[in-house]
Amino acid sequence: MKISIVTPVFNSVTTIEKTILSVISQKRNFPLEYIVIDGGSTDGTIQIINKYADQINLFISEPDRGPYDAMNKGINHSTGDVIGIINSDDWYHDNAIATVEQEFCRNHDISVLYSPITNYYKGEYVATFVPGDLDKLLFRFTLNHPSCFITKSAYNLVGLYNLEYPIAADYDLILRLFVSGVNFHYVSTPLASYSLSGMSSSAIPFDRLKLIRECWKISCSHSNQFSREMELQRWNVYAAWVFNELFALPTRYFLKPPLARKLKSFLSRYLGKPVSDTYGKW
């Protein structure tokens, strides 16, 4: 078995080294291929990448159409049986690759392996995201992309990331895989850490609305066989999401994620279990 890791990067001079080190320092039993796809950085990112050139199997630096375009390039060049994608401000935990190897060796039917993921903001731990129910993928994303490992054969089955969705193409891909009936496998140990500074975690209201709109379109693209009850449930999910975003807008704008998370935990004690737990919980 061979694992390929792809890192899309653009102007990430302050974070890319930690990402690279988290990949090349992994303990493993099988070959590991590391591919870095840069969008034409101008801030010193390339110089840092070049420091580790002897441990990177393929490095491409050229203008692209964004991170999902870079991911597609990396996947197309990958020669591994399993592919992981770790962004340039995220990182793998120790023994992540060894865990992935072990799970795929135990079960050859796995197409998508996923796990919880720890979240950080400027180096400070915020929370751990635990994936939600798979059947809720029909309505909303319940996983987290950096903690997913997907077989090359699964990509061959459903295709690559759809650039029509600049923020939520990962949801679109995972949903296509789920609908296709491939085998998802969950491990309870977090495999990666996620930086709360990426596209889908932006606190800018316009970005949040774009994320919701893209997710709605993706869910709609698979709703042709929805029952009336499921359609109503989807409307309720997105109405609740919009309401939650409006409610959270002041805290997103005025509070940093660690403090906002503490405030949410405090309120949850009095408001009860959040409705969104089945879509992933913190």
Which band of pLDDT confidence, cut at 50, 70 and 90, is reported for residue 208? confident
- Four-CA torsion 71, 54, 20, 94, nearest 10 degrees: 110
**Residue among 118, 114, 94 nearest 104 (CA):** 114
Three-class DSSP category at 5: strand
Which pTM value belongs to this model?
A: 0.89
Task: Please give the structure tokens belonging to residue 216.
Answer: 């709605």
Handedness of CA 228, 229, 232, 238 (dihedral sign): negative
Please report the pLDDT score of residue 279 as a whole number: 76
Q: Is the pLDDT of residue 249 over 90?
A: no
Residue corresponding to tokens 């140990």:
189
| 232 — pLDDT class (breaks 50, 70, 90) | very high
pLDDT digits (tens, 9 = 90+) for 161-203: 999 999 999 999 999 999 999 999 999 999 999 987 655 555 5
Give every CB contact of residue 1 below 8 A, 6+ residues apart in sequence: 30, 81, 82, 101, 104, 105
Containing 129, the helix (H) or strand (E) segment is strand 124-129
Q: What helix, strand, coil percent values describe the chain, rounded to 5?
A: 50, 20, 35
**What phi and psi, each to the nearest 5 degrees, are found at residue 274?**
-60, 145
